[in-house]
Amino acid sequence: MGSVHQGHRARQRKKLLENGPRAFADHELLEMLLYYAIPRRDTNELAHRLLERFGSLQGVFSAPVEELSTVEGVGENAAVLLNLVPQIWQRSLQGAPERILNSVDKCGEYFAELLSGSRREMLWQVCLDGKGKVLSSRCLAEGDVSMAAVSVRQVVEYALRAGAVAVVLAHNHPSGVALPSQEDCATTRLIRDALRTMNIQLVDHIIVADGDYVSMAASGLLI
């Protein structure tokens, strides 16, 4: 069985090097990270177990060591690794220049750059402070993104965890049409109303396509 696992791991690493992380589902990325804490055991089932327990990659990486350790199969090494990764990332951001998104143009340029060249639809959430400084960002969904399937609760929880005063959403249309659908508008308004109950403003939802973008706020669709 050891040789079977090693062969699988080698194939996964080769695929990662050739195609990058976007070629993988969340559980596969988590499975590969766990290789480095659990060298001789299949980590696929454990990755699924962690995502089921904490709801998302963000939930896994936000969990304290004590909670991670309660999941069957997670030893001390794995718990420490999962807890350390986001802390190192946050440390790395401390020396980075501030990114201020305080206008439609700055938001549009930011997401047009972020989503440039992506052939898969992606939905992003960016959390801002009162001056429009980016506090944190994450990909909410990737692939066949359906706004109707977005968890409003998770959007709100992520904003609260980041200490956000405001939020910007963005997603791309690889088909090349930068226009929001009725589903986009309806779900965006649900998120806007949920954030308002926590005194957090949904500043905009940017739709990106072929290097161009449409602002739902500037188009009067968030009124």
What is the tens place of the pLDDT at every residue in 53-111?
988 887 898 888 999 999 999 999 999 999 999 888 777 766 667 889 999 999 999 99
Q: Answer whether residue 220 shows pLDDT above 70.
A: yes
Distance CA 93, CA 97 (A): 8
- For residue 79, give the DSSP letter: H
Q: pTM for the whole thing?
A: 0.63
Amino acid 141: pLDDT: 78
Average predicted confidence (pLDDT) for the chain: 88
Give backbone dihedrals phi and psi of 71, rounded to 5 degrees, phi first: -80, 130
C-beta separation of 78 from 38 below 8 A: yes
Residue 166, strand partner residues: 128, 201
Amino acid 146: pLDDT: 67
| pLDDT-derived band at 3, boundaries 50, 70, 90 | low
pLDDT, tens only, 121-174: 888 999 999 999 999 888 887 766 666 667 888 899 989 988 999 999 999 888
Residues 82, 13: Cα–Cα separation, whole Å: 19
β-bridge pairing 121-128 and 166-172 = antiparallel
